[in-house]
Every structure is written in structure tokens, then in C-alpha cells.
Structure 1
Amino acid sequence: MIRYPLTWLYVPGDRPHVVAKALAAGADVVVIDLEDAVAPDRKEYARAATVEVLRAHQPVPVHVRVNALDGPWAAADLAALAALPGVSGLRLPKVTSPDQIRQVAVATPLPLYALLESALGIEHAHAIAGAHPSLRGISLGEADLRADLGVRADAGLDWPRSRVVVAARAAGLAPPPQSVHPDIRDLDGLAASCARGRALGFLGRAAIHPRQLPVIERAYLPTPAEIEHAETVVKAAATDQGAQALPDGRFIDAAVVAMARRTLSLARRR
């Protein structure tokens, strides 16, 4: 079973001292942000500082969120990052069409991850997810999506969230991580939101502060009861591969066994 990341820690590219701290914070992936977290007059500095950091291999995978593909900085971002040994992937903001993915894939050999942040991006989710073999994942950028849709209540994003989960699966991609929880002090709210995201089919979450990381990981790791049930299912399947009922009356088949094995794979991260 593939070991998918559960935590993705965003850090501004124009603050190299904060980047250094993020690399040691315990996230599965560190995402250096050249886009929304960086003011226009700091874009050139952020790119140069990021290049300097990523000239060497890093202790954890590092992705870089480049600037919007239709803006004035993206081409220089892509050219500067393409051959750096410390870059594990590029996160592409505000993607709205599969053509954008294909164009970037021609320009760089790096794995790509698309952020869908508009109604148009959501409408094209499956086409984007299957656009090119270099694309390894899709996810939502919920702040921009809320603004585009005029959504105020969190429930207004349930359909786009499910759409992205289904599109990723249909294209054979990893389950998408949740978008960031913007209140870094609201850890109870973060935990509740993660539980809701897990129920919708997300796996892991982006973070904007190290204190959010353990909350996200706990929320997405299976509980002792889930692990016990998964072990029971896998043990039963080892003796009888057909559909069957467990002693407690629960019915299992191949799909239930597959979910149990995924649960045990996640449990091994502890």
C-alpha cells in the first residue's frame, strides 16, 4: 500500500528562516508558497530565496506553489525550479483547464499538483485530473472558491468537495487532501472539520502553522476500534475470500476488505 502524506505545511517563500523551521516541523510535505503568501513586490526575492534553499536535497519532500499560470511570474518560477534537486513537486494554483496542465508538463519534468479554486475549475475537475501522467494530485483552494461562488456557510462547499474526491478517484489519483483551516488557534474546530473531511473521502490536510499538524494527523489516523475491526476483517478474509458475515453480524466482501487493508496501512504510520 502506498504511504500517502497526511500533512502539507505551507510556508511563505520570502521568509527563508521560516522555511528552515518548517522543514523541521514534522510535516509529511512542506509547501513553499510563491503565490498568495507573497506580496507582488516580494515575488522576485521569494523565487531567488526558494531557489537557494532547494539547490540541495531536503530532509522531507518539498513542493513549491508557483504563481498563477496566466500571470506575469509563473514562467520565471517554472524555469527557475525545473532542475533543482530539492524540489519534489509543483503545486499549480487556480487551474481551470486540462490544457494548462499539459502546457506545464511540457516545460518541466517535475510531478504536478493542481489546485481547483473556481467554479470553472470544479466543472472541469475530472478532465484536469486526467490531463497528463505528470499530474499526481488535485485539491481545492477553498478561500478563492468561496469568493467565486459567494458561499458563506461551510455546507455550501460540500458538493465541490465531493466532486474533487470523485474526480481524483476516477482518474486514478491519490485521495485529495483538505484545504487549509485558516484559524490557527481554533484546534477544536480544525479537528471537527477534519472529521467531516475524512467522512467525505479526503485524506490528510494542508496546514499553515506547525501546531495544526498533530491535530490533522490524529484526525486522519484510524482509531483503536477501527484498527481492531480492520484486523478482524483481514483475518476473516484470509480464511475465506468470498462474501461472509462476521460473528457480530457485520457483512464483509472484497470492498470491505480493501477498506480494512487501507485502514491498517494508515495505522502503521503511528
Structure 2
Amino acid sequence: MTQTPAPAGVWFVTPAHTPSRFPAAHGCGADVALVDLEDSVPAAAKPQARQDAAAFFTAPAGGSGCVLGIRINSPTTRDGILDLAAIADYPVRPDLVLIPKVDSARDIEIAAGTLDASDYTPYLYALIETPRALEALPSIVRADRIAGVVFGTADYATATGCAQTWEALQHARSALVTSAAAAGILAIDSPFFDLDALETLRHESERAKALGFAGKCCVHPHQLPVVTSVFTPTEEQIADARAIVAAAAEAAGRIVRVDGQMIGPPMVAAARTLLARAAGRTPREVSA
């Protein structure tokens, strides 16, 4: 498997035990479409869901237009071990594997050790959703095979007893973005679970982007246009970034003025990051 840069942007999650929803997920227009074997699947349905999920990765008619992934159960549980073994034998394997309840780099190593092959190295994302994981972030984000981290607000709020509000979870979000940036990997924000509060979803998405998240998860199709509009750079933003990068190149390292603003190295780096993300590359590749 030849890997392209790790995906960011809008993620959509659909349960594995409802295969009738797979075509809608394939065509939803998200950057990443995930089939879920964990929380959205009842315990009794997991064995069948594990088998049904294989069909999610067979080539959709006309192509899916998005990265196809799977959320497994924790690799430290029986279900998670069975998930990994099943995925290794799928006729078409997922591009991306989301690993829940990650508490240490060991969880990434277990998944990589089971799945990696000479022709297959999927993107491995760690779902950070416990206080212990937050404390272990500096080592988790430096696991050899990690491509990014995803924040899980529901489990984190339950574990800490905090409210599931932006203010209560801002410290955890900031820590996650900081650790991910330090390691040069991507951070994706948690889903928003109030399906009818689309304006609140927009506000939370804007805050997440401003904080440094490279994307956000969705759990319902009507959330997708809102999150997509926030995380897709506008033509004006792209044009401004190109102007900054061009002016910096011409100035050969000197401070320059673009549209009345003084532009130094941090602003140039931010412009390059925006252009790189618009082109589907990671921050690590931008600095290389």
C-alpha cells in the first residue's frame, strides 16, 4: 500500500452493523468515512458487524471520493484483538484505523504489529478519551506509526465528571493540539452530539479550528455541510496565503509588508501550513 499524506478535514462515522448505510457514507463527501465497530455497535452484534464491515472497503460504484477507515475496539480487549485479526484478512483493507481508549504508545504498537505488512501500512490514529491518555500524550504522539490523534469528548467528560461544554473541555483540547503539533502530527476534534443545534456546531467547529484542530468528526449527514464550510479554506484565504509566501520568497528572509500587515517568519509558516493542508499534506511535510 502506497501511503499519501495523513488525512485531515471532515470525518464521518457510520455503524458497522447497519450495512444499508454504507453507500450513503461512501458518497457523503467527507474527507474520511469511518465504519465503527466500537461504541455504536451493541455487544451482541459485534461478531456480525466485524464480518459486515469488510464490505465497506470493497470498491464503491464510481469510487467513494474519500479515505475509508474503521474504528476498532480497544486492542487491549478481546473484541479489539478479534477486530485486528479480521481486518488483516479483509479482501480490501482500510486506509485508516482509529484506535480507541489509547492510554499509551503500546496500543499503537499492538495495532501496527498485527496489521502492518510489506504491502500494507494503514494510517493509525489514536482516540484520546481518558485522563490517563492526556497525561501520557507526550509519549503517545511520538509512537513510531501514529499518524494523528482524535479527541473523544463523551468518554473524557464521563471519566473526569466534567460538563461536556467547550469551557470544561478546553484544557484537554489545548493539551491535545499542543502535543500533536510538537510531534508534527494531526489533531481531529470530537463529534458534536446535539444533532439539531447546527449553529452551536458551527461555533464549536470554528473554535476548534482556531485552537489548531485540522478537522472534526460528524455523526449525522446534516452536520457535514456545516463542518465542511468551516474546515475548507476559502479561495480568498488561499489567495492571501499564496501572496504571503510569494512575498516572503522575494524578500529572501526579510520582514515584508503584505496588504498593510507586517509579515514575519511565523506568518509565513502559517501561510505555508494553510496551503499544505489545502493540498492534503501534513505539517511535518511542510517543514521538511
Residue 196 (str. 1) matches residue 199 (str. 2) = no
**Is the partner of 1:131 in helix, strand or coil?**
coil
**Is the partner of 1:37 in helix, strand or coil?**
coil
Q: TM-score, normalised by structure 2?
A: 0.85
Aligned to 1:169: 181
Instruction: Pick from 67, 70, 73 the counterpart of residue 64 of structure 1.
Output: 70
Matches within 5 A, 1:1-270: 4-56=7-59, 59=64, 60-84=66-90, 85-109=92-116, 110-132=122-144, 134-152=145-163, 153-173=165-185, 175-223=186-234, 226-246=237-257, 248-266=259-277
What CA RMSD, in Å, does the superposition of the two structures yield over aligned residues?
A: 2.2
How far is the alpha carbon of 1:12 from its aligned partner? Answer: 0.2
How far is the alpha carbon of 1:171 from its aligned partner? Answer: 1.7
Q: Which runs of 5+ in 2 are unaligned?
A: 117-121, 281-288
CA offset digits 1:193-212 (Å, max 9, x no partner): 01100111001111111211
Question: Could you tell me whether the CA contact under 8 Å between 2:6 and 2:123 is conserved in 1?
Answer: no
How far is the alpha carbon of 1:151 from its aligned partner? Answer: 1.1
How far is the alpha carbon of 1:68 from its aligned partner? Answer: 2.1
Equivalents in 2 of 1:15, 1:247: separation in Å? 52
CA offset digits 1:147-200 (Å, max 9, x no partner): 111111421211111111111122221x21111011222111111001100111
Q: Which runs of 5+ in 1 are unaligned?
A: none
> Identity of counterpart residues, as a percentage?
32
Equivalents in 1 of 2:167, 2:133: separation in Å? 19
**Is the partner of 2:194 in helix, strand or coil?**
coil
How far is the alpha carbon of 1:247 from its aligned partner? Answer: 5.7
Question: Could you tell me whether the CA contact under 8 Å between 1:25 and 1:210 is conserved in 2?
Answer: yes
**Structure 1 residues 232 and 163: alpha-carbon distance in aligned structure 2, compared to 1, 3 A threshold:** same
**Structure 1 residues 116 and 268: alpha-carbon distance in aligned structure 2, compared to 1, 3 A threshold:** closer
Question: Could you tell me whether the CA contact under 8 Å between 1:221 and 1:266 is conserved in 2?
Answer: no
Letter in 2 for 1:154: W
How far is the alpha carbon of 1:61 from its aligned partner? Answer: 1.8
Identify which range, 244-253 or 93-102, moves more after superposition.
244-253
Equivalents in 2 of 1:18, 1:156: separation in Å? 34
Equivalents in 2 of 1:13, 1:118: separation in Å? 24
Question: Could you tell me whether the CA contact under 8 Å between 2:151 and 2:176 is conserved in 1?
Answer: yes
Q: TM-score, normalised by structure 1?
A: 0.91
Equivalents in 2 of 1:48, 1:2: separation in Å? 29
Question: Could you tell me whether the CA contact under 8 Å between 1:62 and 1:86 is conserved in 2?
Answer: no
**Is the partner of 1:64 in helix, strand or coil?**
strand
**Is the partner of 1:26 in helix, strand or coil?**
coil
CA offset digits 1:1-51 (Å, max 9, x no partner): 958431110000000011221111111111100000001111111111012
Equivalents in 1 of 2:266, 2:258: separation in Å? 19
Letter in 2 for 1:242: G
Aligned to 2:285: none
Letter in 1 for 2:190: S
**Structure 1 residues 268 and 168: alpha-carbon distance in aligned structure 2, compared to 1, 3 A threshold:** closer
Identify which range, 244-253 or 114-123, moves more after superposition.
244-253
**Structure 1 residues 3 and 88: alpha-carbon distance in aligned structure 2, compared to 1, 3 A threshold:** closer
CA offset digits 1:64-116 (Å, max 9, x no partner): 11112232211110001024324112111011111222122211113311101
Letter in 2 for 1:141: G
How far is the alpha carbon of 1:215 from its aligned partner? Answer: 1.1
